[in-house]
Structure 1
Amino acid sequence: MTEIPTDIDATLAMLRDGGYVPDRALATVLFLSLKMGRPLFLEGEAGVGKTEIAKVLADRLGRRLIRLQCYEGLDIAGAVYEWNYAAQMIEIRAAEATGDIDREHLVDDVFSERFLIRRPLLQALDPDPAGPPILLIDELDRADEAFEAFLLEILADNQVTIPELGTIRADHPPIVIVTTNRTREIHDALKRRCLYHWIDYPNYARELEIVTTRVPAAGERLSKEIVAFVQRLRKEDLFKNPGVAETLDWATALTDLDRKSLDPQTVAETLGVLLKYQDDIGRIDAERAGVLLTEIAADAAE
C-alpha cells in the first residue's frame, strides 16, 4: 500500500508524476484533505480537471477508484444498496417447497448480506488490501437535492445504516472526492463536512505546461498557439467556454492532422473538437478566427 504524501511538495510531485499539473493552492488543500481524513469538495466549470484528480490519486496511491456518477433521480438503491429481490423470492419459494416456513428465521435469512447488492457508497466502506479506496462522487449538482441527505452519514461518520442489517462502518475511511459544476448550489450541511476548493481555468503558463505534458507530440509552436487561442477564446461571448479537457482534445486532433501551426481555415474546420454548441461555433467562423489569430500574433510581438 502506497502511503499518502507527507507534505505539500510531495503532493505536488505525486500529481505531476501522474501527469496532472496543479497549482500550489490545490496541492495544499488536497494534502490537508488526505492528512485530516476529510472529504474534498471540488467546484468549478466542466472540463477544468476535477474528476482527473481522483483518477490520478487512485493511480499514484495504488488504490481502487470507486466512481458514483450522479444524475437526476439517483436514489439510495442506485447509490448505496438494494436487495436482490429475485434471489430472495427464489429462497422463499424453496423454503415453502421444503416445508421450512419458520417466518422469523426466513426473514433473517433473506435479509442477510448474501442477498445485499452493494452500490458504490457501500462498496467504498469495504476493507481492501490495497488500502482505503478513492470514492469519487462526481457531478453532485446533477443529483436531486434530496439525495444529498443520503451522503451526510457517510461523509460525517464513514458509515451507512441499513434498517434490516444495522450500521455498516468502515474500519478505514475511504478518500472522498466530491465534484460539482455548480449548476445548482449544494447545501451547507454537506459542504461543512468537506474541505473546499474552487478550480478555475488555468492561466497561459499553466495551461501550456498541461498541453506539453499531456500532448508532447504537438510540438512547441503549435502548443503555444493552441493555448493562446483558447485563452483568447474564453474572453469571447460564448455560451460554454472550452475547458482544459477540450484544449487537450484539440491539441490531439491537430496533431493527428499533422498541423504544425494554426490558420483560420484549420481553426474553423476543427472547432467541433473545442466548442460543443452550434451557436458558439457559428460565432467563430474562419473570418473571426483570422481576427483572433492576428490579435494573438500582435500581443506576442509586443
Structure 2
Amino acid sequence: MTAATALPGSVDATLELLTNQGYLAERQLATVTYLALRMGRPLFLEGEAGVGKTEIAKVLAAALDRKLIRLQCYEGLDIASAVYEWNSAAQMIAIRLAEAAGDTDRDQLSSDIFAERYLIKRPLLQALQPDVAGSPVLLIDELDRADEAFEAYLLEILSDFQVTIPEFGTIKAPTPPIVIVTSNRTREIHDALKRRCLYHWVDYPSAERELAIVKSRVPNISAKLSQQVVRFVQALREQDFYKSPGVAETLDWATALTELDARALTAQVVGDTLGALLKYQDDITRMQGDTLQKVLKEAVSE
C-alpha cells in the first residue's frame, strides 16, 4: 500500500497542484482550498451549475492520491442511503441459528446481531474509516437538493467527524476526511451548516480564464474558434435566459464543434449545435433571429 500524499504547503503549491490536474482555479479559490486542507475544515462551494464545483473534489482526490467518496444528494435522501443501515436479512439468519442452537440469552443475542459485521456502511460512514493512503475526499454534492432534515443530520458529521448509531455507539474518524460540499443554490442552506465550513462562491470565469480552460480541455480546437466560442458564451450569459451555460457546457460545445470540423462560428453552425450549449427549449427558441445575430456578431468581431 502507498503512503498518504502530503498536503500542499502553500497557496501557490495548491494552485500548482490544481493546475497540474487541468483545473485552472482563481487564486481566491486556491486560497480557501489550501486553508480547508490545512485547517481540516469542510469546504462549502456554492454557485451556478456547471462552474466546476464538483470537479474540484475529483481533482483533489486525483492529485492527492486519495479515495473519492461521493454522496449525490436528492429529495428524500435518508440515513439508510447516505450513512448506514443494518443487514436485516443476515441478522434474521443469526437469530434463527441462535434459536436452533438453544441460545436464549436475549441480551447477548441483541448485542451480537448489532455487531459491526452486520453494519452496511454507506458513503458518509465509509468516509470516516481509516485509510493508509490518507483520509478520503468526501464529496457531498448538490446539498440543496436534499431535505432540510438531512441537512441538520450532517451537523454532527461536519463538526465532529463522527456518526452516532443508537444500537452500536459512536464511530469517529481517526483523521478527518477532506470534505467538499456543493450547492447550486436552488434553496438556502442553513447558517448552522455553513458555520462549520469555509465558504467560497464559484462564479463564471473571466473570458481570459475560460479561454485557457477551453484550450486546456479541448486541445484540438483552433485558436480562432476557441476565441469565438468563449466570446459567444460570455455574451450569451448577459442575455435573459432561464439557464445560462456553465463552463461544462462551454467545453461540451467546443468539443462538439471540433467533432464537426468547424473552423469558425456561423449562424448555421450555431443553430445546429445549440443543444450542446443550452438545455431548455425556451432558451433555444429565444436564441433565434435578431438575438442570435447580435450575439454572433460580438463573438466573431476581431
Please report the TM-score for the alignment, with normalisation by the length of structure 2.
0.97
Show the counterpart of 2:206. Answer: 203
What is the alpha-carbon distance in structure 2 between the residues aligned to residue 287 and residue 90 of structure 1?
A: 70
The one of 73, 98, 102 aligned to 1:99 = 102
Instruction: Report how far residue 31 of structure 1 moved.
Output: 0.4
The one of 268, 271, 274 aligned to 2:271 = 268
Checking the alignment, whether the CA contact within 8 Å between 1:267 and 1:286 is kept in structure 2 is no
Show the counterpart of 1:57. Answer: 60
Show the counterpart of 2:111. Answer: 108
Checking the alignment, whether the CA contact within 8 Å between 1:20 and 1:53 is kept in structure 2 is yes
What is the alpha-carbon distance in structure 2 between the residues aligned to residue 294 and residue 171 of structure 1?
A: 58
Gaps of 5+ in 1: none
Please provide the CA RMSD for this pair. 1.0
Q: Which amino acid in 2 is paired with 1:180?
A: S
Checking the alignment, whether the CA contact within 8 Å between 2:135 and 2:176 is kept in structure 1 is yes
Q: Which amino acid in 2 is paired with 1:149?
A: A
The one of 255, 258, 265 aligned to 2:258 = 255
Aligned length: 299
Checking the alignment, whether the CA contact within 8 Å between 1:263 and 1:290 is kept in structure 2 is no
Deviation string, structure 1 residues 265-293 (Cα, Å, up to 9, x no partner): 11011000100000000111265323322
Any residues of structure 2 matched to 1:4-19 within 5 Å, and which? 4-19=7-22
Deviation string, structure 1 residues 15-74 (Cα, Å, up to 9, x no partner): 000010100000000000001111000000000000000000000000000001000011
2:242 corresponds to 1:239: yes
Deviation string, structure 1 residues 184-219 (Cα, Å, up to 9, x no partner): 001101000000000000110000011001111112
What is the alpha-carbon distance in structure 2 between the residues aligned to residue 288 and residue 41 of structure 1?
A: 36
What is the alpha-carbon distance in structure 1 between the residues aligned to residue 104 and residue 120 of structure 2?
A: 25
Deviation string, structure 1 residues 202-257 (Cα, Å, up to 9, x no partner): 11000001100111111211111100000001111100000000000001111111
What is the alpha-carbon distance in structure 2 between the residues aligned to residue 178 and residue 54 of structure 1?
A: 9
What is the alpha-carbon distance in structure 2 between the residues aligned to residue 165 and residue 175 of structure 1?
A: 25
Amino-acid identity (%): 68
Show the counterpart of 2:71. Answer: 68
Q: Which amino acid in 1 is paired with 2:211?
A: L
Show the counterpart of 2:39. Answer: 36
Instruction: Report how far residue 133 of structure 1 moved.
Output: 0.2
Q: Which amino acid in 2 is paired with 1:101?
A: T
SS at match of 2:163: strand
What is the alpha-carbon distance in structure 1 between the residues aligned to residue 278 and residue 101 of structure 2?
A: 64
Please report the TM-score for the alignment, with normalisation by the length of structure 1.
0.97
Show the counterpart of 2:184. Answer: 181
Q: Which amino acid in 2 is paired with 1:161?
A: T
Gaps of 5+ in 2: none
Q: Which amino acid in 2 is paired with 1:77?
A: A
Q: Which amino acid in 1 is paired with 2:59?
A: V
Which aligned segments of 4 or more residues in structure 1 are displaced greater than 4 angstroms?
none
2:197 corresponds to 1:194: yes
What is the alpha-carbon distance in structure 2 between the residues aligned to residue 81 and residue 269 of structure 1?
A: 47
Q: Which amino acid in 1 is paired with 2:296?
A: L
2:241 corresponds to 1:225: no
Show the counterpart of 1:213. Answer: 216
The one of 134, 137, 143 aligned to 2:137 = 134
Instruction: Report how far residue 97 of structure 1 moved.
Output: 1.9
Show the counterpart of 1:146. Answer: 149
